[in-house]
Amino acid sequence: MNGITRRILTLALLALGGSALAQSKFPDGPIKVIVPFAPGGGVDGAARLLARQLSTNLNVPVLVENRPGANGSVGGRFVQTAPADGQTLLFSASTQALTKQVMANPPYDPLTDFAHIARVGDAPLLMVISPNLPQTKLSEVIAAVKQSPDKWTAALPALGAASHLGTLMFAKQGGLNNLSTAVYKGTAPALTDVAGGHVQIQIDAIVALQSMAKSGKVKPIMVTSAKRSSVLPNIPTAVESGFPKFVTESWYGVWAPKGTSPERIQFLNRAINEAVSQLTKAGAWEPLGIEPVTESVDDFRKYMAGYITESADLLKGAGFKPE
């Protein structure tokens, strides 16, 4: 081996060593988790639980920051344009997947403009109504809406969210062609208006609605999972209520800015999967009504692509027009 060859080999090894060293130091500072909805909702609650576990495991601060607005795209855009170093992440629900389907001028393509990291859980949806209303069954709610449609409005925490799709499915299954809706900036403000009787219906992740449902501040009607939820075991499913095709769920995922290195994406995928497993073993997910998911980056990307296709068909069938 001549001197030039030896020098090139040495430089190459040093470069590889430096790369490995830099990778081993990740994360080397606080991780910021952006939640694109208001504090107090289901996405926010799940994000904070995961952030605390990650902070313990990684021994760095993992800070949750709420950036609501524009159907979740304000927070999404913030992460999209953040440095691609793996230390600014987006924690959102299925809403993120349908940005292109529900916005007339979407700021990004959620499938191609972000790096997928992990899907962390699924959650059934719960239907609640204002506590002063007399209805107690799904069939009674449908009948009342048909009789007096001008007296019923459904709250939508975000266009394209699982709550939106669940509401569209409710209207379709119940034959409610003219169900009025009102769009909010997150679950919490929508739920406040349902409790106050300003709007009458909300269908959203059980994680976000269960507390007020249990306390009587809103009235639970049904869950959208195939079987009853252990969180609210006395509440029937839509299937039990006579609507066998009314089955849908919310889901939660984590993304990073596009261009984040594959090594850091894989590191974060492993770290998040481990945190989810720990939360599950500790029983932390169960009170939130979340079914844990641990899967690869590729599995998450494929799942999201399939979800977009199926949901786009439902939106199109309902005659939904992007706003």
Domains 26-123+250-317 and 127-223 share a fold: yes
Residue 14 has pLDDT above 80, yes or no: no
d(CA 162, CA 164): 5
b/e map 18-27, b = 16+ CB within 10 Å: eeeeeeeebb
Residue 123's SS3 state is strand
Domain 127-223, CATH among 3.40.50.11540, 3.40.50.980, 3.40.190.10, 1.20.58.220: 3.40.190.10
| Phi, psi (degrees; rounded to nearest 5) at 32 | -105, 125
Position 11 confidence tier, pLDDT thresholds 50, 70, 90: very low
- SS (HEC) of 36-58: CCCCCCHHHHHHHHHHHHHHHHH
Say yes or no to pLDDT of 18 above 80: no
Residue with tokens 């230390």: 87
Q: How far apart are the first and last CA of the chain?
A: 67
Q: Per residue in 25-45, pLDDT tens?
A: 899 899 999 999 889 877 898
pLDDT of residue 276: 97
What would the CATH number be for the domain defined by 26-123+250-317? 3.40.190.150
Instruction: Give me the pLDDT at residue 238, please.
Output: 95
* Alpha-carbon torsion (135, 139, 144, 149), positive or negative: positive
Gap between the Cα atoms of 54 and 225, Å rounded: 29
Domain ranges of the chain: 26-123+250-317, 127-223
Looking at residue 71, what is its pLDDT?
A: 83
Phi, psi of 117 (to 5 degrees): -115, -60
User: How far is 164 from 150, CA to CA, in rounded Å?
Assistant: 20
User: Phi/psi at 116 (nearest 5 deg)?
Assistant: -75, 135
Q: Is the pLDDT of residue 129 over 60?
A: yes
Q: What predicted TM-score, i.e. pTM, was given to this entire model?
A: 0.78
Task: Report the DSSP pairing between strands 219-223 and 114-129.
Answer: antiparallel
CB atoms within 10 A of CB 242: 13
